[in-house]
A and B are shown apart, each in its own frame.
Chain A
Amino acid sequence: MKISGIITLMLLGVFGMSFLFPVNEERTPQSEDLKEIIRKAENRMEGESSIASMKITIVRPKYTRDMTLKAWTKGDDYSLMYIMTPSRDQGTTYLKRSKEIWYYLPSVERNIKMPPSMMSQSWMGTDMSNDDLVKRTSMANDFTHKLLGSETIDGHDCHKIQLIPKESADVIWGKIEIWVDKKLYNIMKQKSYDEDMELVNTMNASNVKMMGGEEIPTKMEIVPADKPNQKTVMTYLSIQFNVDIPDHYFTTQYMTKVKP
């Protein structure tokens, strides 16, 4: 009797409090929800498989260079890219097979495996390194998340989330900030910081369009923080999701005879 009386009192108290401090209509996501949001965002661009053609523009202080390529992707581990233009580089093929990177060079008719010592080098002259493409860290599992607020990026209302790597995670970043679209779960912006919390690079996504049945950002630019007037812009020309790609596409034999 006594105990239930106290409980009733407490319940009444809580009930009363909620009148005094009404809960906001738009609920802010809690830690568990954040993880879910990030998981959804991560899965956005990495469906089961895809075939895309894209244009990569490398902007340097002294010149701008365009290349177009076709890319086949299957899961996280496999992707194959074939350079269409410029003509001097046409036919250069790039294969990612889990942690390995292979190149096929038509001018020498040979496959070359990228040695570990060169993984930190620029990938095809862009502002991304080979490591960036191979290293798979899960934003959902390898980081602790914190909501920093809401911001509008390119006309989309986004959650701004801070990611701090967990002690055990094999992550090169000191922290990452991402902006995730509240409705479409697209990552609209990403800022990566090194261990000294210095900004390393910024990814800006824009031009959200219907493509391949999904509403995705079709333009992404990567801007290194320490190099002014320099960036890499990737534009999707077309993309098909969930296409059945045979496994033999992702072999060193096939890369010598890719037909785009």
Chain B
Amino acid sequence: MKGKFFILAWRNIWRKKIRSFLTMLLIGLFLTIVIFFLQMQKWTWMNQIDTSLSGYVGYIQITDTAFVKEKSMDNMFSLDKINLEELRSIEGVRGVYPRIQSGVLASVGIRSKSAGVLGINPSDDNDLMKLEQKLSEGELLDNDDDQILITNQMAKFYKVKVGDSLILFGSGYQGYTAAGNYRIKGIVRIPAGDMSNMVYMSMKEAQHIFAANGMVTAVLVNIEEGADLYKITDEVKSKITDKSLIARNWEEVMPELKSGMELDTVSNQMMTGILLLIVCFGIFGTIVMTYSERLFEFGILLSIGMSKRMIMLVTVAEIYFLMLLGVFLGCLIVTPILYSIHNNPIQLTGNAAETMIEYGIDPIMSVGLYPSEYINSSMIIIIITFIMSLYVIFKIRKLTPLDAMKKH
């Protein structure tokens, strides 16, 4: 007898096929929309974080402890202090990239202006920073290059083209003068932002001009998509034995990016909240119907000796079945949509795309396939249904056969 209520509940659902189906559809569509938006939002953020972090900041950044406070050339550190191979071998680490970043005075003739300098390992970084896609003239650097890449904004300011040269002048490690005359090998299209005023050179040449052999300003550690940032941060920290160094994840390096992301999440939560309200009424309507429609039936069941507990169980089980079927339906609808967009991102065109390119973001729109978003949205539905089903439980508790069977 104990397991029978399952069968009863299941049969009850199909007594009103259309209504049950509509409830399921309501829950399903709600979930589809919410999961879709959450996945899109998360993907957008992850993509933005990836473009802004992986190339220049790194998911995890290893620097000298003094560099945290003062980003000066004097606070560089020697690469001997860390084992790059060991860092690369950590599970979930996509790549490890040493960097020299500094500022100089860049000058052509009487035109001079301050500019950033980025020392990179072209063999790894050309891919990472998608320099090939951004290259508009000339060629990319190689690891032993003594030439430089500049941005189109700089080329415009100095009125130079590939083959011309640029004088860089600044201070190097420990106050040495850093000066050099460099031939422009290529021009990359980065029309706005901090990165639009940047000179790219090979690590070897950067160490030479800044009189800093074997030294770097930072080592960036990038993680694979979906990998656990905190776990890998701890692991990287444990691998750094030198006391003068510090490893920080991007949330510590760029708290403003983190808070921007949180703000965006809040606005999305509000939208989810409104959708939720609609679904609440839908579910509640179904629950009220299942109860009032069967009031007479409940009266008879009670009279012939069915316990109130049993009636409650059957009704609540019925509601849960409906809800779970709805959740299942929702996931079933959204997954193929997500999957197809995830594998074939939508290419954006027009002004929006232009703006995105300017900010260094690929002009594509896509969605993620994060299990967390599925679980979170489904959990919301489950919790709401649980709260709503309390209504039925209270109503049935107070039920008397006479009242129930009274014709209204």
Convert A198-226 into 0s and 1s, putting 1 for each residue whose CB lies closer than 8 angstroms to a CB of B: 00000000000000000000000000000
Q: Are B171 and A125 in contact (CB under 8 A)?
A: yes
Cross-chain contact of A89 among B74, B176, B181 (Cβ < 8 A): B176
Q: Assess the B177–A89 pair: CB atoms within 8 A.
A: yes
Considering the chains assembled together, what is the distance between the CA atoms of A108 and B174 in angstroms?
Answer: 21
Q: Does B169 contact A (CB under 8 A)?
A: yes
Measured CA separation A118–B180 after assembly (Å): 18
- B114 lies within 8 A of A118 (CB): yes
With known contacts A60-B175, A107-B179, A125-B175, A114–B167 Cβ distance under 8 A: no
User: Residue A2 at the B interface, CB < 8 A?
Assistant: no
Which residue of chain A has the shortest Cβ distance to B211 in the bound complex? A88
Tell me which residues across on chain B come within 8 A of A89, comparing CB atoms.
176-177
The CA of A103 and the CA of B74, in the complex, are separated in Å by 22
Q: Is B112 a contact of A105 with CB atoms below 8 Å? A: no
Interface centre among B171, B176, B177, B180 (most CB of A within 10 A): B177
Q: Smallest Cβ distance from B105 to chain A, in angstroms? A: 6
CB distance from A111 to the nearest CB of B (A): 9
User: Cβ of B113 < 8 Å from any Cβ of A?
Assistant: yes
> Nearest B residue to A118 by beta-carbon distance?
B114
Contact (Cβ within 8 A) A115 B179:
no
The answer on a CB contact under 8 Å between A105 and B179 is yes
B177 adjacent to A112 (CB under 8 Å) = no
Cβ-based interface call for B377 (8 A): no
Are the C-beta atoms of B180 and A114 separated by less than 8 Å? no
Query: In the complex, are the beta carbons of B171 and A112 less than 8 A apart?
Result: no
Instruction: Evaluate contact between B113 and A112: CB separation under 8 angstroms.
Output: no
Contact B175 A118 (CB under 8 A): no
A114 to B105, CA, bound (A): 8
| A110 contacts the other chain (CB 8 A) | yes
Interface residues of A (CB under 8 A from B): 58, 60-63, 65, 86, 88-89, 92, 103, 105, 107-110, 112-115, 117-118, 122, 124-125
A88-B177, A108-B167, A112-B169 given. 16 additional CB < 8 A pairs? A58-B175, A60-B74, A60-B175, A62-B74, A88-B211, A89-B176, A92-B177, A107-B179, A107-B180, A112-B167, A113-B107, A113-B110, A115-B113, A115-B114, A118-B114, A122-B171
The 5 closest A-B pairs by CB, nearest first: A125-B175, A108-B181, A105-B179, A89-B177, A65-B175
